[in-house]
């Protein structure tokens, strides 16, 4: 049985979608087989072949603090969050470090992008644009002071958020996690799915007519709590969350694998991680989008996976009621699954005729594809699946019994850093980067970017048939990822493909591509979208392309929380390895500097107008970009294949003090928490740190936070502690710079970077700079930040 300290329970639910503005209303309508799909009232449908959508109808979304500062996606999410907290009997958390927020989203603040572009470029819209705003504003609304993260895996994001919530609790990093997903209906996804001819003009008909999807919108929140915490406060308990499985198809950027084998692998992982039998699952809330490709892949995968062991499994798709709510889908469907479990009810897929029933029966045999009306059925466990663009598959199990969940089974394994891939404004490989450092290369202008060329593709053997599809972010990501694999001398094979995973951290992800798409349809109308460009708007497209190119089929998650995402990719990767999920993880940080990104920084008055360096007390920073990938693997695995080891990943930590998203001032003490947590995780004291690779970029209010926190944490030692700042050379490359800081630490510990400029902070706060040899370093601290008040730290050591 799952040990009590690994048990995660659900103590509260919240939902808003087309069939209800709360759980009670939504559930009642679901039991009455109500569909929320109607003609859209909010978008222009001129020349569009499909005009249906499942829109939220709620006039109280603005009844929150500062509604003008929030995108509709945040408003939907905060509404569901409030209901869930109320349901759980929880309120304000007073910045408690034990309460986390993890929210999945696909298009995030796309309505604010549209508003900015079509409404006179008002700078107030900018902080509402990235997905990262959602979890941050949820945390700000209830003062959750733990790990705050957004998952950007498109339509699987909601499910992954709940899985990640359990991982954090089981790793001892949180007691309560507000987990879920949110997305709003908007022109970009509507036009995008139209361009793919993926909308069903008659309304979606999953596992039935399968002519396409119908878009919805909404948010779902599940309060996941450690059993211990729930028991202590005598909380309501809906059910347990058992294991989950996340895999990558390595197949196509929009289409799922027809054979469904990687979805099958995700379900297999979920069942194994839960410690249950396949036959324990009584109901499966399928992804069931209504496209032929998705539904047939699922039908095949379910037959193959459950087959003889569970031949009468009940299956349905609730998307005929809610529409496809993208990043919220998994969260809303989790709420349906949990309500189904606790009320012993299986929900139907709607709109089957007698003829349709015969047709599905011929396809699925004895399997119970529930049709038209709900039905009572004694349930012990339910499964919820979601799949996404980029080839992501996610599966999770909710249960009445504790199961036998295995987690942190590899906690005692040492994690080695074995490969580094760098794409930066000063070079597209580790070798060129090191050469540029040696030559003291610095930015020449205040906005710099990396340039991937055909030479990079040629050297890495990437064919034109592949690279022609990539957008800029995908180019940066695939080149840095493939270089990291090469540097680690790791060949992906059929045998090891499932043992390797990828976590991409990104601050803005597909925001630039989304803006590009918005420009296109603002001109051409919603009927004029591009099927070629649309996939790039999802934040996990870059990671998806890397998985397709490399063949990596294991864990694949894109996190998006601001610059620190590039460091959290390392921390979360360590957790995936410690959970025994993968032997090898690629942790990466990627962000781009398209002209629109520099424009947004300028509008926010954070872009410098000339080249500035860290600690220069400036009003802005040099805008940069890049992609940096770091290979992490268990020491055993590294030894088994004679891999070169740069250093070891010893610990990671996070801290948060809530300030408004887009702001940082006043949150500095949370950096102390992140550093101290990382030191504790590594089992060392601040005195053992030989150097810091930090995040200063020249912007005074940011650099001052860093200086002050180091003074508090390191005390007298600070005057002699070398601080290395990669942004001196590559500008503010957000997540790419965060991973680059870690890569630079690894290069110093591994002896490949002999010396580099270091900054020293004197007792009076003044800063000096000199070249320092890395020869004696044994342990290096790496830090990063995100607006809204989050900080992360990682300790690397010999």
Active-site positions read 155, 287, 324
Nearer to another protein, 471 or 681 (CB): 471
Q: Does 354 bind another protein (CB under 8 A)?
A: no
Residues 253-312 that bind another protein (CB under 8 A): 253-255
Residues 226-255 that bind another protein (CB under 8 A): 252-255
Q: Where are the alpha helices (DSSP H) in 93-241?
A: 110-118, 132-142, 157-170, 187-195, 227-232
Residues 6+ apart with CB under 8 A from 186: 43, 107, 110, 111, 114
Residues 6+ apart with CB under 8 A from 716: none
The distance of closest approach from Cβ of residue 43 to another protein in the complex, given in angstroms and rounded to an integer, is: 20
Q: Which run of H or E residues covers position 9?
A: strand 8-16
d(CA 61, CA 75) in angstroms, rounded, equals 6
Binding range to another protein, per CB under 8 A, among 423-431, 526-534, 653-661, 677-685:
526-534
The distance of closest approach from Cβ of residue 523 to another protein in the complex, given in angstroms and rounded to an integer, is: 13
How many CB atoms are located within 10 Å of the residue 262 CB? Answer: 27
Nearer to another protein, 99 or 155 (CB): 155
Nearer to another protein, 268 or 459 (CB): 459
The distance of closest approach from Cβ of residue 255 to another protein in the complex, given in angstroms and rounded to an integer, is: 8
Among the listed residues 342, 372, 530, 602, the single contact to another protein using CB under 8 A: 530
Q: Does 379 bind another protein (CB under 8 A)?
A: no
Residues 197-216 that bind another protein (CB under 8 A): 197
Residue with tokens 């940082």: 664
Q: Does 712 bind another protein (CB under 8 A)?
A: no
Query: Tokens at residue 463, please?
Result: 């064919």
The distance of closest approach from Cβ of residue 48 to another protein in the complex, given in angstroms and rounded to an integer, is: 13
Instruction: Classify residue 568 as left (phi > 0), alpha (psi -120 to 50) or beta.
Output: alpha
Per the CB < 8 A criterion, the answer to whether 331 and 105 are in contact is no
Residue with tokens 């070798």: 431
d(CA 397, CA 159) in angstroms, rounded, equals 10
Q: Does 535 bind another protein (CB under 8 A)?
A: yes
Query: Tokens at residue 769, please?
Result: 């700079």
- Write the burial class of residue 651 (CB in 10 Å: 0-12 exposed, 13-18 middle, 19+ buried): buried
What does the chain come to in residues?
798
Binding range to another protein, per CB under 8 A, among 68-76, 117-125, 530-538, 747-755:
530-538
**Number of amino acids touching another protein (CB under 8 A):** 20
The distance of closest approach from Cβ of residue 452 to another protein in the complex, given in angstroms and rounded to an integer, is: 13
The distance of closest approach from Cβ of residue 528 to another protein in the complex, given in angstroms and rounded to an integer, is: 8
d(CA 133, CA 462) in angstroms, rounded, equals 35
Nearer to another protein, 466 or 760 (CB): 466
482 closest CA partner among 416, 434, 542: 542
- Write the burial class of residue 444 (CB in 10 Å: 0-12 exposed, 13-18 middle, 19+ buried): exposed
Residues 464-503 that bind another protein (CB under 8 A): 464-470
- SS3 assignment, position 80: helix
- SS3 assignment, position 386: strand
The distance of closest approach from Cβ of residue 532 to another protein in the complex, given in angstroms and rounded to an integer, is: 5
d(CA 256, CA 480) in angstroms, rounded, equals 25
Nearer to another protein, 46 or 468 (CB): 468
| Chain centre distance of CA 316 | 26
Residues 6+ apart with CB under 8 A from 597: 508, 511, 512, 623, 625
538 closest CA partner among 560, 511, 557: 511
Residues 432-471 that bind another protein (CB under 8 A): 454, 463-470
Residues 6+ apart with CB under 8 A from 561: 132, 135, 136, 148, 149, 150, 505, 507, 568, 786, 790
Query: Tokens at residue 286, please?
Result: 């399928």
Nearer to another protein, 126 or 388 (CB): 388
Q: Does 196 bind another protein (CB under 8 A)?
A: yes
Nearer to another protein, 231 or 519 (CB): 519
437 closest CA partner among 733, 768, 771, 734: 771
The distance of closest approach from Cβ of residue 545 to another protein in the complex, given in angstroms and rounded to an integer, is: 12
The distance of closest approach from Cβ of residue 465 to another protein in the complex, given in angstroms and rounded to an integer, is: 3
Q: Which run of H or E residues covers position 635?
A: helix 635-640
Q: Does 362 bind another protein (CB under 8 A)?
A: no
* SS (HEC) of 704-769: HHHHHHHHHHHHHHHHHCCEECCHHHHCECCHHHHHHHHHHHHHHHCCCCCEEEEEEECCCCCEEE
Q: What is the CA radius of gyration of the chain?
A: 24
Nearer to another protein, 360 or 520 (CB): 520
Per the CB < 8 A criterion, the answer to whether 93 and 99 are in contact is yes
d(CA 323, CA 617) in angstroms, rounded, equals 50
DSSP β-bridge partners for residue 150: 103
Using CB under 8 A, list all residues that contact another protein. 195-197, 252-255, 454, 463-470, 530-532, 535
């Amino acid at each position: 049985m799952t040990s009590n300290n690994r048990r995660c329970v659900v103590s509260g639910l919240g939902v808003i979608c087309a069939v209800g503005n709360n759980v009670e209303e939504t559930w009642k309508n679901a039991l009455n087989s109500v569909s929320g799909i109607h003609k859209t009232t909010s978008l222009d449908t001129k020349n569009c072949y499909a005009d249906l959508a499942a829109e939220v109808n709620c006039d109280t979304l603005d009844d929150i603090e500062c509604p003008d500062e929030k995108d509709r996606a945040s408003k939907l999410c905060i509404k569901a969050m409030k209901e869930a907290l109320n349901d759980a009997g929880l309120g304000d958390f007073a910045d408690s470090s034990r309460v986390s927020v993890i929210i999945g989203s696909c298009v995030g603040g796309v309505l604010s992008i549209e508003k900015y572009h079509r409404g006179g470029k008002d700078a107030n819209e900018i902080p509402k644009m990235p997905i990262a705003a959602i979890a941050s504003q949820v945390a700000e609304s209830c003062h959750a002071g733990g790990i705050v993260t957004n998952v950007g895996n498109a339509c699987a994001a909601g499910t992954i958020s709940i899985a990640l919530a359990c991982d954090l609790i089981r790793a001892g990093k949180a007691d309560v996690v507000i987990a879920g997903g949110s997305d709003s209906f908007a022109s970009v996804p509507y036009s995008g799915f139209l361009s793919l001819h993926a909308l069903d003009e008659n309304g979606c008909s999953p596992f039935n007519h399968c002519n396409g999807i119908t878009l919805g919108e909404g948010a779902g929140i599940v309060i996941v709590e450690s059993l211990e915490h729930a028991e202590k406060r005598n909380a309501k308990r809906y059910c347990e969350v058992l294991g989950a499985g996340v895999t990558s198809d390595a197949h196509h950027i929009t289409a799922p694998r027809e054979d469904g084998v990687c979805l099958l692998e995700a379900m297999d992982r979920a069942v194994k991680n839960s410690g249950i039998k396949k036959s324990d699952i009584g109901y499966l809330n399928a992804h069931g989008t209504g496209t032929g490709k998705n539904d047939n892949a699922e039908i095949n995968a379910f037959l193959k996976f459950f087959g003889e062991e569970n031949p009468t499994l009940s299956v349905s798709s609730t998307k005929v009621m809610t529409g496809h709510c993208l990043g919220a889908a998994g969260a809303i469907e989790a709420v349906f699954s949990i309500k189904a479990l606790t009320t012993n009810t299986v929900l139907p897929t709607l709109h089957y005729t007698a003829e349709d029933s015969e047709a599905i029966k011929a396809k699925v045999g004895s399997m119970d594809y529930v049709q038209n009306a709900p039905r009572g059925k004694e349930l012990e466990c339910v499964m919820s699946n979601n799949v996404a663009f980029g080839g992501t598959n996610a599966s999770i199990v909710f249960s009445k019994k504790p199961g036998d969940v295995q987690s942190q089974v590899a906690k005692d394994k040492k994690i080695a850093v074995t490969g580094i891939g760098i794409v930066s404004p000063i070079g597209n490989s580790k070798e060129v980067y090191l050469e540029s450092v040696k030559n003291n290369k610095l930015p020449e202008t205040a906005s710099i970017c990396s340039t991937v060329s055909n030479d990079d593709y040629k050297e890495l053997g990437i064919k034109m048939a592949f690279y022609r599809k990539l957008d800029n972010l995908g180019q940066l990501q695939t080149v840095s990822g493939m270089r990291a694999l090469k540097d680690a001398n790791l060949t992906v094979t059929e045998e090891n493909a499932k043992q390797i995973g990828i976590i991409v951290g990104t601050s803005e992800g597909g925001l630039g591509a989304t803006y590009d798409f918005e420009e296109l349809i603002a001109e051409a109308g919603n009927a004029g979208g591009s099927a070629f460009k649309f996939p790039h708007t999802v934040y996990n497209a870059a990671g998806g392309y890397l998985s397709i190119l490399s063949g990596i089929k294991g864990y694949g998650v894109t996190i998006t929380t601001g610059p620190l995402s590039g460091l959290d990719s390392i921390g979360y990767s360590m957790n995936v390895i410690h959970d025994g999920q993968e032997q090898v993880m690629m942790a990466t940080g990627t962000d781009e500097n398209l002209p629109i990104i520099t424009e947004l920084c300028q509008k926010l008055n954070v872009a410098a107008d000339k080249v500035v360096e860290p600690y220069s007390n400036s009003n802005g920073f040099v805008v940069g970009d890049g992609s940096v990938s770091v290979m992490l693997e268990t020491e055993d695995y590294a030894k088994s294949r004679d891999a070169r080891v740069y250093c070891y990943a010893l610990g990671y930590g996070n801290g948060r003090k809530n300030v408004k998203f887009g702001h940082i001032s006043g949150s500095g003490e949370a950096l102390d928490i992140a550093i101290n947590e990382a030191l504790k995780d590594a089992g060392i004291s601040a005195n053992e740190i030989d150097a810091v690779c930090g995040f200063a970029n020249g912007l005074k209010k940011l650099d001052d936070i860093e200086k002050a926190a180091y003074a508090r944490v390191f005390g007298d030692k600070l005057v002699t502690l070398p601080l290395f700042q990669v942004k001196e050379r590559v500008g503010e490359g957000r997540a790419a710079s965060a991973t680059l800081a870690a890569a630079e630490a690894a290069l110093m510990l591994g002896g490949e970077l002999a010396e580099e400029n270091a900054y020293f902070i004197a007792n009076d706060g003044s800063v000096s700079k000199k070249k320092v040899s890395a020869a004696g370093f044994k342990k290096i601290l790496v830090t990063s930040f995100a607006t809204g008040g989050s900080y992360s730290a990682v300790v690397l050591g010999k």
